[in-house]
Chains A and B, each alone.
Chain A
Amino acid sequence: MVELVMNLFPARTASHQLSLSIGGLLRFCRRYLSVALVLVLWQAGAQAGLIPSRLLASPVQIVHTAWSLTLDHTLPQNLLVSLGRAGAGLVLGIAVGVALALVAGLSRVGEDIVDAPMQMARTLPALALVPLFILWFGIGELPKILLVALGVKFPVYLNLYKGIRSIDPKLIELAKTLGLSRWKIIRDIIIPGALPDLLVGIRFAVGISWLMLVVAEQVNADSGIGHMMMDAEDFLRTDIILVGLAVYAVLGLLSDQIVRLAEGRLLTWRGRTAVQGGTR
């Protein structure tokens, strides 16, 4: 259709597209104008001595610090440690969440045994368990990974369980008339039908994994982005703290984009329908 229109009105379409792209550029600039303005004011304030660097480092200083931290390998090394913890916790938490949701979603007995405790446990703030985790698992890698896994498992469980339960019973009925075995019903109907909800759960899980990691690394750690920031606090290095914050922000954005990309790939059948909200 678009091609057809282009062929019919080549000149007009080209100029139309041009004006569109200029308009788009203007809008793009406008959206980031306020951000740029804040940055400029921030920098000006710091240079005029209105913002003491003890409280807040200037943007230029932050970029400079980030660069030197990269050169002396502090940032990459700590980043790698943090990524490893978040990744291990995510994998573990998703595995546990999926397993529990399958048990609860696929059988009534499983629902009675698993769902009630999960619904109760989810109201507990996971971060409040930090002291207990330190007592139980010490201050090594294990409590950090487990803390991430604990936070991750709830959104995965809740969304996948909801997804399994909200599958249209008419599709199951159809499968029975076609003589599908229970295993095939699970494989061909329940799992693909609940996949959108699982992916929504994973998106929340990724966000939560960073949150859990920040706390775990700031309470007791000798490496990781959180540790780097706590260390900087002792020396009043607000620039390093802000670099850490920026890294967390970029990681959060990137991981969210990765899950969105996976959604686009796995859910091609939905076409361009919007991503629905989930349960956190």
Chain B
Amino acid sequence: MSANPLTKAEFELAGNAVSIRHFTRRFGETTVLRNLNLDIAPGEFVALLGHSGSGKSTLLRALAGLDTVEEGQIDRPSAVSVVFQEHRLLPWKNVTDNVTLGLDGKEWNAQAEAILHEVGLGHRLEAWPLTLSGGEAQRAALARALIREPKLLMLDEPFAALDALTRLRMQKLVLDLWKRHDCAVLLVTHDVDEALALADRALVLERGEIRTEVEIPLTRPRRHADPVFEALRERLLHALGVTS
């Protein structure tokens, strides 16, 4: 360790997978994110909740490096992967080639095969994306994200377009993959139950600021009937402006 001195980013990150300091993002007159601070520990699973237009996507885009950071500072690992709500597979490449997109060399094919088996798509290695079901396509997208061994995996409402049963199966898959690959996860969702079932910590973003932050100290798999679960659920729903 002492042989290679830390770069600036690594120094800032020391101890954290992600560190956001005083990050502000404006689009013209509107301020979408205001003076945002957020740390994510290595291997931590964080859920980000919020209404549409609360700034979730803007934050995700900035973390994915798709947006410039003008005010404030974002330190993130170089190995970041994103899974979007739509699978975004290239229809003209088969599943394996989609997973290895941008990775040169034949040796990646074996790795792709292994990871596709891991996400339960071992039987569709050569399939065209147009022939996949919604759940299968999202599994392929997960494989494409994981083959790069990311230090931070971002999931942008990845299961919103899936049916309820498939969504439950995919949530379980994400938990398994997270445990095995040991990466920090930032899950953007507006499903409170999904956040509570998966995350270590849930954040509620409202009008560009993190208004509520909730630790979820439950062991997994979690039961919805658990009184602690129920109480956290009430709290998050309340923070989102839903009162029962």
Residues of A participating in the B interface, judged by any CB pair closer than 8 Å? 170-171, 173-180, 184, 188-189, 192-193, 195, 267-271
Contact = CB atoms under 8 A, between A and B. Distances in A.
B124 to A, nearest CB: 14
B93 A177 contact: no
B101 interface: yes
B84 interface: yes
Contacts of B90: 171, 188-189, 192-193
Contacts of A171: 88, 90
B81 A271 contact: no
Given A188-B93, A271-B130, A271-B131, A176 B65 contact: yes
B101 A177 contact: no
Contacts of B144: 178
Interface string B29-67: 000000000000000000000000000000000001110
B92 A271 contact: no
Interface string B73-100: 0000000111010101011111000000
Given A184-B102, A192-B92, A193-B92, A177 B128 contact: no
For the residues of B in contact with A, the DSSP-based class is loop
A55 to B, nearest CB: 53
Interface string B126-148: 00111100000000000010001
Interface residues of B, number: 22
A180 B102 contact: yes
Given A173-B88, A195-B92, A269-B93, 10 more contacts: A171-B88, A171-B90, A178-B144, A184-B102, A188-B90, A192-B92, A269-B129, A269-B130, A270-B130, A271-B130
Contact of A177 (B81, B92, B94, B129): B81
Contacts of B82: 174, 177
A177 B66 contact: yes
Nearest to A178: B102
17 contacts: A170-B86, A171-B90, A175-B101, A175-B102, A176-B65, A177-B64, A177-B80, A177-B81, A178-B81, A178-B102, A184-B102, A188-B93, A192-B93, A195-B92, A267-B92, A268-B128, A269-B130
Contact of B102 (A179, A267, A269, A271): A179
Nearest to B92: A192
